[in-house]
Structure 1
Amino acid sequence: MGSIDVAPATEAPNAFVGKVPYWKDATFYQIYPASFQDSNGDGWGDIPGVLQRIDYLADLGVDVVWLCPIFDSPQADMGYDVSDYTKIYAPYGTIEDVDALISACHQRGMKLILDLVVNHTSIEHAWFKESRSSKTNPKRDWYIWKPARYDANGNRIPPTNWRSYFAGSTWTWDELTQEYYLHLYAPEQPDLNWDNAETRQAIYRDTMHFWLKRGVDGFRIDTVNKYSKRTDYLDAPTTDPTSPYQPAPEMWCNGPRIHEFIQEMNHEALAPYNAVSVGELSNTPCPTQVLPYVSAAAKELDMVFEFSTIRLGTGDGFGAKYIYNPFPLTRLKHLTEKWTTFIEGTDAWATVFCENHDNGRAVSRFGDTSTRELWARSAKTLALWQTTMTGTLFLYQGQEIGMVNMPPSWGMEEYKDIESANFYAEAVKSGDPARVQATVRGLQILARDHSRLPFQWDDSPNAGFAREGARPWMRVHDNYREINVARQLEDPESVLEFYKKALRMRKTYRDVFVHGVFRLLEPESESLFVYVKGADSQLSGRRALVVMNFSADAQPCPDVARTLKCDERSVVLLSHTLGSGATVEDGVLQPWEGRVYITGD
């Protein structure tokens, strides 16, 4: 059997040929700007810092840069509370800096998309200030206001018993106008009323058009399926007897007018600019619910993020979200299969991701960080898993160097996220020590804070994220001298160099990996993750076999030629995770070893 370490740099023979949108073949790279690169020593990452690192992204193999929220904001939720969509939060830079970043991306053949947050604004947004100024203000109906209810003792209570994603009620009382306003997240994030046509047109005009005209190539659209709420405003059933507020996503996810709104958004703002769109689609676990959003014929969104896989280990998303639930490999495999194959036979498209700004680090959750060797091996194996999956690939900053979660030794004072703080405070308030302990343990694995630590560029003070003497807004990880870009660039066997090779392999054989069909093998194994990828729906053309050992023990390797039903001489070992000097044994997979074999023309 022939053997090569990486895909050839040239186009593979008989590779996928066909006119497809660029974003299907693209690798997107998500940047959390506060934590990527500080250019001026204030401890806060910024857009000039991204510009300083633009060639690093191009060299990695990035096609599209996705920038998390940079708009003006009081930062109650790290920019997901926008006070002005046409201004940049000053610590990030200026509009001219964004223009320069757009130009720099385009000059290198890359594109730039921004994070669009239009389910809600900040309480400091001019629209909300007008809305709360009086009940007769023309913008009163741009947000969702309701009168109080009263209990049997005459006490004022919110209009419904809905629980916020950030704990507490979804309703906040406004003394001036003597009504409650709705906020699915923090009280500082009031929900816009999408049932008001004027509101929708203002969103398209004053947010989307403004940036698309400046050359932005599209948007990641936050909370995209929460714009249409049920308007009967009923109480949710009591599922958490310990709280007066109950989870109620069925009241605001995938509501009665949601597809009307998204089609209108596409027609009014996205389509005229040929802008790419990827929506955040939470609480939508059924493919039949997801397909209408991403069917090409429906003309809504190009792609969505469905979160079943990345949420593995979390609780119910509300009160028990951070009570960690261990999961078997079979569950990970089942979800991978479900959300890879759901587009087969349709005109829809899928996304591939295992990290983002709202979750713990993938290698800490799905890999093995017990030793340095297993950390490196598992990070590379996770890279193989991601780069061989069907759909558009999304990487999160630091994933490519194997950044890990905060050390368990760090105290709660290092957790800066509003969600982490609120869930921890809620546990403490319960007076239940076991709940507090379980919540802390869950946060150590799952908290959003882990992905927001400063990027680790080198072994200089502050990991090269900020100059010496600066005080980063979040503590730099203790391991930055061992895990950083500079060190990995000097090591041809590093996680970073492996990602570069894997990304080249993915593009060279995009007919198999990006566009190919997926067939899971060994579905009941709790150690092996094995699947066939094929270049057509009958698996009769070029095929790849991906075999990965998701355990710290050696495992038997399937017979490759027999599995692929081909002559052994036609099989090529395209990639493996052991390194160039290692011996690859035909019948044995080493702990956390991954391989990709390819055959067929």
Structure 2
Amino acid sequence: MIFIFEQVDIDNEPGKYRMTLRDWDADEIRKIFSHWQRLMIDKDGWNSLFVENHDNPRSVSRYCNDSDEFRELSAKLLCLMMTTLAGTLYVYQGQELGMRNVPPEWSAEEYKDVESINYWKKMNNMYPNDKEKIDFAHHLLQRKARDHSRTPVQWTAEAHAGFCKEDVTPWMRVNDDYKTVNAEAQRNQNDPDKLSVLQFWKRGLANRKEHKDVFVYGDFQVLDENDKKVFAYKRASETEAFVLALNFSKDEVKWEIPEAAKVKKWVAGNYTAGQPDKPTSGTITLKPYEGLLATSEI
């Protein structure tokens, strides 16, 4: 099994320390995952699949948009991708809830990881009178510190997010959004038109298990080599096939379905609990951070 780290280095400045930052687009996500998907299939290898762990910020904050408007959609978009790629899938604690980075308003003193503490101390020692550099250092902590994946898991809307008793102080402050982003609320959500992030993950994992010959062991084909916003690919076994179209941008995108997709029916998406109403050929509109799954001809 191969553990790749290119996807968690995607926002690093090339060749530089992890605590750097740069912009990227869906083209880079496509290149990373398609390279390793294809290589492991061709060389009879095996992929590990992860976008989040204890040494990285929250995936919904890193790869998509963790605003109140787009957090759930972004978490579901990542779920669609991760549950339909070949290999062994790892889901990190809180990822199935769409937990996000701590708010920008938190002071640097809230960060407890030794890397964060040393980085903040170093930047203040090097640039004591440079407000611009210190502000950027704080911004970088909010984007990339390891602390984000180490806040207490948000179980309920009770004190400390139900992680510990009210009279016990956890090692780190609970993310401020715990009253609305927690396992209990998502488990109990009862909306026929909208799944919670947790419910979406459960459905995605069940679908992966049901169609494991396609999603775990099947073939992989990139469908669009040039789009800078949409990562589209086809997964197939000897008996069935599926197509994914994932818009990794905050823009509404007009996407032309490639002939090789051979879409039969759109069966799932992150904007509705039911089946998306989209054309199966020609040009379709993908909303911001919209992801679609379709059955396809082999």
1:589 shift after superposition: 1.9
1:312-356 deviations in Å (ceiling 9; x for gaps): 1124676x4212111122112111112222212323211111000
Q: Is the CA contact (8 Å cut-off) linking 2:246 and 2:289 kept in structure 1?
A: yes
Q: Which residue of 2 aligns with 1:10?
A: none
Alpha-carbon distance in 2 for matches of 1:483, 1:312: 27
User: Where do residues 212-223 of structure 1 align in structure 2 (5 Å cutoff)?
Assistant: none
1:472 shift after superposition: 0.8
User: Where do residues 287-298 of structure 1 align in structure 2 (5 Å cutoff)?
Assistant: none
**Among residues 238, 257, 266, which one is paired with 1:573 in the alignment?**
266
What's the TM-score, normalizing by structure 2?
A: 0.90
Instruction: Kindly indicate whether residue 224 of structure 2 is the aligned counterpart of residue 522 of structure 1.
Output: yes
Alpha-carbon distance in 2 for matches of 1:456, 1:443: 21
SS in 1 for 2:90: strand
Q: Which residue of 2 aligns with 1:399?
A: 95
Moved more, 389-398 or 417-426: 417-426
SS in 2 for 1:305: coil
Structure with higher helix content:
2
**Among residues 65, 71, 89, which one is paired with 1:375 in the alignment?**
71
1:499 shift after superposition: 0.2
Instruction: Kindly indicate whether residue 275 of structure 2 is the aligned counterpart of residue 548 of structure 1.
Output: no
Alpha-carbon distance in 2 for matches of 1:558, 1:502: 25
Q: Which residue of 1 aligns with 2:287?
A: 590
Q: Which residue of 1 aligns with 2:119?
A: 423
Q: Which residue of 1 aligns with 2:181?
A: 483
Alpha-carbon distance in 2 for matches of 1:325, 1:557: 26
Q: Is the CA contact (8 Å cut-off) linking 1:408 and 1:444 kept in structure 2?
A: yes
Give the letter for the 1:440 counterpart. H
Q: Percent identity, aligned pairs only?
A: 34
SS in 2 for 1:395: coil
Give the letter for the 1:529 counterpart. F
SS in 1 for 2:3: strand
Mark the structure with the bigger radius of gyration. Answer: 1
User: Where do residues 70-89 of structure 1 align in structure 2 (5 Å cutoff)?
Assistant: none
User: Where do residues 308-323 of structure 1 align in structure 2 (5 Å cutoff)?
Assistant: 308-315=6-13, 320-323=17-20
1:598 shift after superposition: 1.7
Instruction: Kindly indicate whether residue 175 of structure 2 is the aligned counterpart of residue 473 of structure 1.
Output: no
Q: Is the CA contact (8 Å cut-off) linking 2:93 and 2:153 kept in structure 1?
A: yes
Q: Which residue of 2 aligns with 1:125?
A: none
User: Where do residues 349-360 of structure 1 align in structure 2 (5 Å cutoff)?
Assistant: 349-360=46-57
The 3 A distance-change label for structure 1 pair 544 and 352 is: same
Aligned-pair RMSD on alpha carbons?
2.0
1:419-453 deviations in Å (ceiling 9; x for gaps): 11112222222236344333322211111000000
SS in 2 for 1:502: helix
Alpha-carbon distance in 2 for matches of 1:313, 1:334: 14
Q: Is the CA contact (8 Å cut-off) linking 1:458 and 1:464 kept in structure 2?
A: yes
1:505-558 deviations in Å (ceiling 9; x for gaps): 11111111111222222222222111111226xxxx422110112222322244
**Among residues 495, 499, 504, which one is paired with 2:201 in the alignment?**
499
Alpha-carbon distance in 1 for matches of 2:123, 2:247: 37
Alpha-carbon distance in 1 for matches of 2:171, 2:270: 35
Moved more, 308-317 or 545-554: 308-317
Q: Is the CA contact (8 Å cut-off) linking 1:456 and 1:463 kept in structure 2?
A: yes
The higher relative CO (CA closer than 8 Å, separation ≥ 6) is in 2
**Among residues 370, 389, 401, which one is paired with 2:85 in the alignment?**
389
Give the letter for the 1:419 counterpart. E
Q: Which residue of 2 aligns with 1:437?
A: 135
Alpha-carbon distance in 1 for matches of 2:59, 2:158: 25
1:559 shift after superposition: 3.4
User: Where do residues 31-50 of structure 1 align in structure 2 (5 Å cutoff)?
Assistant: none
Alpha-carbon distance in 1 for matches of 2:25, 2:229: 9
Listed as ranges, the gaps of 5+ residues in structure 1 are 1-302
Q: Is the CA contact (8 Å cut-off) linking 1:543 and 1:564 kept in structure 2?
A: no
Alpha-carbon distance in 2 for matches of 1:411, 1:373: 24
The 3 A distance-change label for structure 1 pair 378 and 420 is: same
Q: Is the CA contact (8 Å cut-off) linking 1:547 and 1:557 kept in structure 2?
A: no
Give the letter for the 1:406 counterpart. V
Q: Is the CA contact (8 Å cut-off) linking 1:550 and 1:592 kept in structure 2?
A: yes
Instruction: Kindly indicate whether residue 30 of structure 2 is the aligned counterpart of residue 333 of structure 1.
Output: yes
SS in 2 for 1:572: strand
Give the letter for the 2:253 counterpart. Q
Q: Which residue of 2 aligns with 1:509?
A: 211
The 3 A distance-change label for structure 1 pair 404 and 348 is: same
SS in 2 for 1:306: coil
User: Where do residues 39-188 of structure 1 align in structure 2 (5 Å cutoff)?
Assistant: none
Alpha-carbon distance in 2 for matches of 1:495, 1:382: 10
Alpha-carbon distance in 2 for matches of 1:458, 1:517: 40
Q: Which residue of 2 aligns with 1:559?
A: 257
Aligned length: 288
1:102-151 deviations in Å (ceiling 9; x for gaps): xxxxxxxxxxxxxxxxxxxxxxxxxxxxxxxxxxxxxxxxxxxxxxxxxx
Q: Is the CA contact (8 Å cut-off) linking 1:324 and 1:438 kept in structure 2?
A: no
Q: Which residue of 2 aligns with 1:451?
A: 149
